[in-house]
A and B are shown apart, each in its own frame.
Chain A
């Protein structure tokens, strides 16, 4: 099993408004295996988004190393960072579509800016991709004219254009209704089998998101617990994990309590 992403004793702190320092990650180490799906879960404010930003090099660690395919991005210069980033596809929490560009232009942007393809080739590629994500016929709409679920699909289509080897999803189902959420999950499963990328999903949609996970990482007070499978979480003896399971998954996972 080779690692796509590796955290080695990463420390990240932020200065607080009232003075003092808040430690978000306190010497965290873990690996994300290649070609698998890893879910990062945890309560709000536990550093889930910061973890993603560290992977992307948008935020730099105070100490420790973040390795992407074996390259340390905490010491990378601007050019090297750009090279590493070109392996990523990112679906942002709010989709982060360019709101002054149409759906077509949004999806075409990575192809226009990062490849030397002709306008005709780009048109064909984007049209095929929009069909795949069931967005055909919406090419000329602006993001503001789309529903939340459609925006996510456009974001996903845009992120996939350059055939990334690692996909990062930041809260992919926040603000979507249950039907749309299921649809997005189906889309994940389908695209991953098709493209075979490593995917990292930051989510608090527990337990549904666990159906997709090969590995689960739970963040709690600057520490991380890594579980090889979603089931393993329920067997954990650690009090904060048991608390987390009880909080997020509810009664169905508490058979021992019921038996008493």
Chain B
């Protein structure tokens, strides 16, 4: 396996040479050396991913901006995910309605059902489940697309034509994701609350007035803002990890080569972005609540 040097990541040569930071992946039997190797590999990987993010952000300011590509991506990530989001939200909302009724009924507090369902959806389940669905549906597709473009030299071809691949098609994906994910989250919340209404009011006989009144009384602007901030960050995490994994498909340890490497890296991208969403969900809740 050929491992690129630090310079290949676009770091100018004026930077101090950093051959010590070049993992050689030696199959050494010394466990300490292997641990060190893994540490260096992860550090390099994180560095590459950070530079990747910086280049994607820089792409926003490069002209000409490809507005049509952005629209196409919003259509793919946003509109294309609507059906999945709709069904996930409806079933989640209905389960919340039934489960909430069952729990609240024990305290004779069925009137709180609306507030319980809406707060859970707006602050937690809406952003998280939307991000997970987008990672599974659009994130995997983006990762595989970039991976195939990388192994068939299409990204090199763009570089050689002096067309910045970030401005050309990576930055539009980033923008589309941070536009689409919050909007999809809003759809998720509305459909989920309606699902809770169907289950709670329609099936379990909670009074419609108390369902909505409880919601109105307990959901504050702060709660909605938290949900929106979360969905922005989750959208960025998903698109960053998925496109980044695809872009670096040749440099990922243990990925192998060719079609197999794309399939493995796509799996890795979806798993990593799902974990990242769940971890960041906890961190953001802890900090912002």
Contacts and interface: CB of A to CB of B under 8 A. Distances in A.
Contacts of B26: 18-20
A113 B161 contact: yes
B220 interface: no
A251 interface: no
B86 interface: no
Contact of A96 (B14, B154, B168): B154
Contact of A58 (B156, B162, B168): B156
A56 B8 CA distance: 12
A172 to B, nearest CB: 14
Interface stretch (A80-88, A126-134, A174-182, A216-224): A80-88
B152 A99 contact: yes
A88 B160 contact: yes
A15 B162 contact: no
Interface in A95-154: 96-99, 109-110, 113-114
A77 B14 CA distance: 10
Given A15-B25, A18-B26, A99-B154, A58 B159 contact: yes
Contact of A60 (B7, B24, B149): B7
Q: What bracket does the count of chain B residues touching chain A fall in?
A: 20 to 34
Contact of A17 (B1, B7, B64): B1
| Main SS class of interface, A | loop
Contact of B163 (A16, A88, A94, A110): A110
A15 B160 contact: no
Given A75-B12, A75-B14, A77-B12, A90 B160 contact: yes
A212 B234 CA distance: 56
Interface in A60-78: 60, 62, 74-75, 77-78
A14 B39 CA distance: 20
B3 interface: yes
B163 A90 contact: no
Contacts of B2: 14-15
B161 A19 contact: no
A192 interface: no
B69 to A, nearest CB: 11
Contacts of B23: 15
Contact of A92 (B64, B156, B164, B168): B156
A92 B159 CA distance: 12
A59 interface: yes
A93 interface: yes
Interface in B8-52: 8, 10, 12-14, 22-28
A58 B4 CA distance: 10
A213 B261 CA distance: 38
Contact of B160 (A17, A56, A93): A56
B156 A96 contact: yes
B12 A109 contact: no
Contacts of A90: 157, 160-161
Given A59-B8, A85-B162, A20 B24 contact: yes
B3 A14 contact: yes
A114 B156 contact: no
A167 B32 CA distance: 49
A85 B13 contact: no
A46 B13 CA distance: 25
A82 B162 contact: yes
B285 interface: no
Contacts of B12: 75, 77
B213 interface: no
A92 B153 CA distance: 8
A75 B13 contact: yes
B24 A85 contact: no
Contacts of A83: 162
Contact of B168 (A14, A88, A113): A113
Given A19-B24, A85-B162, A90-B160, 8 more contacts: A15-B2, A15-B22, A16-B1, A20-B26, A58-B160, A60-B5, A78-B10, A98-B154
Lowest 10 A-B CB distances belong to which pairs? Answer: A19-B26, A60-B7, A96-B153, A96-B157, A86-B162, A85-B162, A15-B3, A17-B1, A90-B160, A15-B24
